[in-house]
């Protein structure tokens, strides 16, 4: 993604899987969830194309550059949906 392309292990033309950056996810939750949840932390996994030990080390230091990102999201208040009857 550094040069504008997804890594070969993360195909962006799949029917069910989409690639998002941590910045995209933060913006999504800010727009959709508002203030009732916060992203506590981001963890990374699979640092392509490095071997397992190096990949684990790099994904710990640079989680946003890892192939897979995991988000710890905390609910901070009650979400209330109000329906308006016509």
Q: Which domain holds residue 72?
A: 1-11+19-86
Nearest CA to 23 among 60, 64, 58? 64
Distance of CA 39 to the CA centre of its chain: 10
pLDDT of residue 67: 83
Which pLDDT score is estimated for 17? Answer: 64
Q: What is the dihedral of CA 5, 41, 30, 84, to 10 degrees?
A: 120
Q: Tokens at residue 33, please?
A: 């969830």
Structure tokens at 45: 């996994």
Return per-residue pLDDT of the chain as tens, 86 residues.
555 565 566 655 666 666 777 888 888 888 877 778 888 888 988 888 899 999 999 999 998 888 888 888 888 887 666 666 66
Per-residue pLDDT at 54: 93
pLDDT for position 31: 82
Total number of domains constituting the chain: 1
The pTM assigned to this predicted structure is 0.61
């Amino acid at each position: 993604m550094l040069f504008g392309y997804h890594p070969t292990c993360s195909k962006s033309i799949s029917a069910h899987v989409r690639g998002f950056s941590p910045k995209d996810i933060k913006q999504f939750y800010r727009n959709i969830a508002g203030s009732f949840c916060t992203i506590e932390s981001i963890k990374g996994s699979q640092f392509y194309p490095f071997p397992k030990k190096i990949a684990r080390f790099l994904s710990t230091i640079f989680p946003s550059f890892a192939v897979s990102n995991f988000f710890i999201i905390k609910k901070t208040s009650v979400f209330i949906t109000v329906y308006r009857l016509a």
